[in-house]
Amino acid sequence: MPTKPAPATDLVPDAAPDAAEKRSTVRALLRLWPYVRPVRARLGTAAVIAILASCVGLVIPLVLKWMVDGPVADGDPAGVWLGALYLLLLGLAEALLFGVRRWLVARPLAGVEAGMRADLYRRLQRLPVAFHDRWASGQLLSRGTTDLMLLRMFLAFPLTFLLVNGVTILVGVGIMLVQDWTLGLVILGPAIPVMITCGIFEKKYSAVARRAQDQVGDLTTVVEESVLGIRIVKGFGRHRSQARAFHELSHTLRGTELRKARLLAAIWAVIVTLPEVAIGAALVVGAVQVADGALSAGTLVAFLSTALALRWPVESIGFLLAMSQEAATATDRYFEVMDAEVEADPAAGGRAAGAMGVPPLERSRERGRVDDGGTSQAVRAPGEAPSSEQRPLPEVSANAGRPQGLRFEHVRFRYPDAAPDSTPLLTDVDLHIRPGESMALVGATGSGKTTLTALVPRLHEVTEGRITLDGEDITALSREELRSMVAVAFEEPTLFSATVGENVLMGAGEGADDEALDRALAVAQADFAHALPQGTGTQVGEQGLSLSGGQRQRLALARAVVGRPRFLVLDDPLSALDVHTEAAVEAALRQVLADTTALIVAHRPSTVLLADRVALLSEGRIAAVGTHHELLRTSPEYAHLMSGSDGHEGDEGPQEGDGR
Ligand SMILES: Nc1ncnc2c1ncn2[C@@H]1O[C@H](COP(=O)(O)OP(=O)(O)OP(=O)(O)O)[C@@H](O)[C@H]1O
């Protein structure tokens, strides 16, 4: 079975480090609009309320001015108390408004996050196997967790507060300029250096944020692999080297996080220091003006209170920008997955797509040739093909649905990530499996057997040629149709964290009952399931690891046969079974396979026995087709493979007249 590329360094196939530097933060964040749109009214109201709350805060210095120049200067205690009451009410109003804002955004933003997560999950389900082959699972996991959390936080705080703080700063500066424009200009002095610093910071931070988020994905992958592969890690005593690999990655991440912290510290230093210096300078200039009698003490108090009230809005810009950068990076990472091309479901127009560059006319002619020695029930192309390419395929339309078995016609396949000039793994596969027939597929290791079987349920798309099920091009069938016709079981049986029964019934349509479950378990010799603590209601652990390899394989086999599929694709599904159990499964399977067309990858003669005929896959094509004994006689390669596979060919080889 194919494995994923090695983890660790760069597990994001399309991640372009430079892209983070080039892309625009705003443009990246604008892609969130479709998700934000439904809650825009609430977010807008919340922003207006936050602006209101901030402006209420800015009224406080004006009340102070009134108190200092009025009741305090006049020695009027009642006026001072009244002023204190105003201040208290303003403070309460500000707190209340901020509370309402938070209440307004909390629920809808949790909904936005959940919606985005659901979309991502749906997308991942629809993305082709080739995508999942390329992407490390930790990278996908971190997009669905950390990145979405960053986005929710961005929508809750920076999105609103960059606006609120911007308005607050403008209003505050306006108030200060009205109070005393010379002092206002002193306060405004650092504005330009602060803006330049923000620009530089944004660019640098966005690159580091991208790196950090990708590294979190790498780390997640390593953790996931270590947990899933814990038996190997322990069995080979690799925990130290695994820990070392993890430590190295987390050390790298720590370095990136420290770089982020240093950048934040730098902008923070500039954003805090320059305004503080300006406030100090304004205090000195203002005090001189008060001493000269050019300014009232109340105005200076109001001015400085306003300046101090603006400290937080200005200082927070640093981390608001940082959070926005992280959110933009998270958006990029999210849409890298969402933009990946999903499997086209060509129920509409698929017939044409299935041509793969071969005109329908030629395909129908060729189909007459694709016969395995004239022994099959191959349907000949009609003498004269229809004149128009628009007309439906004559053969297909005439015989579609009638049992014609499974056909591979000039199938050529190259993995999408293979070098374009490399020889395709499958160069020209022609094979016809008759209706109700079971065909074993034999070939040297790495010859492409698993790959060929994966083409039938369209886990990978053929590069050229086509595959038909009962005359229907598989690319013309909707995925649902196709997968209701074909059931698969792989050598590596994957079970889900669910009950045994649920795992098996996953292979059946809606409404499958306990009878179907029991029948499938019986066929797969998986009756052990009834003896589990809660019978078929027993929960299997993550990936079914609480069961033995053979038990998992039998459950996977039961899942494949439970829906009584018309076509069955089995990739060496009995490899983990002992000879006796395998023989029992074979006997039961024969009953099931009697009306099922099956392709079975086999390594052992004992598995080959299950099949009516055998096809030898060699150098990207079907080199020979025949019964086991015919091939033993006529194909040295086959004889070699069978004799070398378990060394018991002589013991287990089928006998002539064994009923096949
Ligand atoms: N996702 C993939 N991307 C690129 N190459 C792949 C991928 N999966 C498999 N291959 C390559 O394709 C070749 C055939 O693999 P495949 O698993 O189909 O062989 P096989 O005949 O089933 O082997 P075995 O008998 O060992 O299971 C191998 O060389 C493998 O490295």
Return the residue whose CA atom lies nearest to atom 24 of ligand 1. Answer: 445
Closest CA to 433 of 518, 371, 386, 509: 371
* Host H or E run for residue 431: strand 426-433
| Backbone φ/ψ region at 16: left (φ over 0), alpha (ψ -120 to 50), beta | beta
Q: What is the pLDDT of residue 4?
A: 40
Q: What is the pLDDT of residue 391?
A: 31
Cα 626–Cα 631–Cα 632 angle in degrees, nearest 5: 150
Query: Strand order in 438-443's β-sheet?
Result: 472-473, 464-469, 406-413, 426-433, 621-626, 613-618, 438-443, 597-601, 567-571, 486-489
Confidence of residue 544 (pLDDT cuts 50, 70, 90): low
Q: Tell me the β-bridge partners of 597.
A: 567
Contacts with 281 (C-beta within 8 Å, 6 or more apart), sequence order: 186, 189
- Is the model more confident about 231 or about 304? 304
* pLDDT surpassing 50 at residue 395: no
Residue 594: C-alpha distances to residues 393, 545, 589 (Å)? 30, 32, 8
- Is the model more confident about 533 or about 253? 253
* pLDDT surpassing 70 at residue 333: yes
Domains of the chain, first to last: 17-338 (1.20.1560.10), 407-652 (3.40.50.300)
Mean pLDDT of the residues in the chain: 79
Residue 80: C-alpha distances to residues 75, 85, 91, 299, 399 (Å)? 9, 9, 16, 17, 97
Q: How do beta strands 613-618 and 438-443 pair?
A: parallel
Q: What is the pLDDT of residue 514?
A: 79
Closest CA to 509 of 560, 563, 457: 563
* pLDDT surpassing 50 at residue 390: no
Cα 59–Cα 297–Cα 173 angle in degrees, nearest 5: 40
Mean pLDDT lowest for which of 301-310, 392-401, 600-609? 392-401
> For a substitution probing ligand 1, which of 413, 422, 449 has the most ligand atoms within 8 Å of its CB?
449
Q: How far is CA 453 from the centre of its chain?
A: 24
Q: Tell which atom from ligand 1 comes closest to the C-alpha of 617.
A: 21
Closest CA to 31 of 274, 337, 243, 271: 337
> For a substitution probing ligand 1, which of 127, 132, 415 has the most ligand atoms within 8 Å of its CB?
415
Q: Tell which atom from ligand 1 comes closest to the C-alpha of 491.
A: 27
- Ligand 1 centroid–CA 185 distance in Å is 71
- Ligand 1 centroid–CA 490 distance in Å is 13
Closest CA to 658 of 599, 612, 622, 619: 612
Q: What is the pLDDT of residue 351?
A: 39
pTM of this prediction? Answer: 0.68
- Ligand 1 centroid–CA 228 distance in Å is 22
DSSP state of 70: I
Q: What is the pLDDT of residues 511-527, one digit of tens each?
A: 677 788 888 888 888 88
Going 553 to 556 to 560 to 561, the CA torsion angle's sign is: positive
Q: What is the pLDDT of residues 407-418, one digit of tens each?
A: 999 999 998 878
Assigned token pair, 349: 């127009």
Produce one character per residue of 502-538: b if its CB has 16 or more CB atoms within 10 Å, e if not. Answer: bbbbebbeeebeeebbbbbbebbbbeebeebeeebeb
Contact 151, 32 (CB under 8 A): yes
Assigned token pair, 569: 């694709």
Contact 158, 331 (CB under 8 A): no
Task: Provide DSSP, 113-176.
Answer: HHHHHHHHHHHHHHS-HHHHHHS-HHHHHHIIIIIHHHHHHHHHTHHHHHHHHHHHHHHHHHHH
- Ligand 1 centroid–CA 465 distance in Å is 20
- Ligand 1 centroid–CA 532 distance in Å is 36
Cα 486–Cα 489–Cα 491 angle in degrees, nearest 5: 150
Determine the Cα–Cα distance for residues 171 and 174; give it in Å rounded to an integer: 5
Q: What is the pLDDT of residues 343-366, one digit of tens each?
A: 666 554 443 333 333 333 333 333
Q: What is the pLDDT of residues 564-589, one digit of tens each?
A: 888 989 888 777 777 777 778 877 87
Q: What is the pLDDT of residues 585-612, one digit of tens each?
A: 877 877 766 788 989 998 888 778 778 8
Q: Which residues line ligand 1 (CB under 6 A)?
A: 1-2, 133, 415, 417-418, 425, 443, 445-451
Q: What is the pLDDT of residue 545?
A: 61
